[in-house]
Amino acid sequence: MELLTELRTHRIVAIVRGDDADAALRTVLTLAEENIPLIEVSLSGKDALGVIRRARAALGPTAPLGAGTVLTAPDARAAHEAGADFVVTPAVCEGITEAKRLELPVLAGVMTPTDIVAAQRLGADAFKIFPAAQAGGPAYLRALRGPFPAMPFVPVGGVDAAAAREYLAHGAIAVGVGSPLIGDAADGGGVDALRSRARAFRDAAHRPKRAA
């Protein structure tokens, strides 16, 4: 699985975290139907490993399916065994090292320049600026791109459709989107609103605003 290619192509990582495993699975499948195929199932959700296993069986072996909130080496191993083909961490942690040992691509959570350099040394493939809104939003991304102009950054945290357009216009390779996209779908809510939001985010991702 070529994570950078998938990020450049799809430009959205959908983050599914729910209290209802069946609803979380339904959310994953709905997102795939709506052509948002790059999906991360957070290990902090209900029976997340079971959701990953069932989603892998339903989507087939080539669908890009990740595990999020991977902190430890056991987390990375469990995600790999469940069928995830990439992992996402919230920080610079041992989950990165173990995932790379298992030959899984890693989207590593970073906040500071020091984090970025540390994650790069561990072999991270792309860098999740988290929490992006609290870090300063698109202005912080622009600042980071000064010393790191070629780094593949993925802002995550508080990204709505308007923010997605702005981040992408200012050089993000993709954006990670949780509740502004998922809403209550992974907790048992309906999927009609999810489909509408998915279309709005897909439009935002492929029609970003021009950078000022």
66-95 confidence digits (pLDDT tens): 999 999 999 999 999 999 999 999 999 999
Q: Does residue 209 carry a catalytic annotation?
A: no
User: How confident is the model over 95-150, as pLDDT tens digits?
Assistant: 999 999 999 999 999 999 999 999 999 999 999 999 999 999 999 999 999 999 99
> Is it true that the peptide bond before 131 is cis, omega within 30 degrees of 0?
yes
- Which pLDDT band, with edges at 50, 70 and 90, does 1 fall under? confident
**In sequence order, what are the residues at sequence separation of 6 or more whose Cβ sits closer than 8 angstroms to the Cβ of residue 111?**
129, 130, 135
Task: Provide φ and ψ at 113, rounded to 5°.
Answer: -55, -35
Domains of the chain: 3-206 (3.20.20.70)
Q: Please identify which of the residues 6, 98, 128, 166 carries the catalytic annotation.
A: 128
pLDDT averaged over every residue in the chain: 96
Q: Please identify which of the residues 6, 34, 40, 166 carries the catalytic annotation.
A: 40
Listing from the earlier edge strand, what are the strands of the sheet with 65-68? 153-155, 126-129, 106-110, 86-88, 65-68, 39-42, 12-16, 175-177
Q: Does residue 40 carry a catalytic annotation?
A: yes
pTM: 0.96
Confidence at residue 209, expressed as pLDDT on a 0 to 100 scale: 63
DSSP string, 85-123: SEEE-SSSSHHHHHHHHTT--EEEEE-SHHHHHHHHHTT
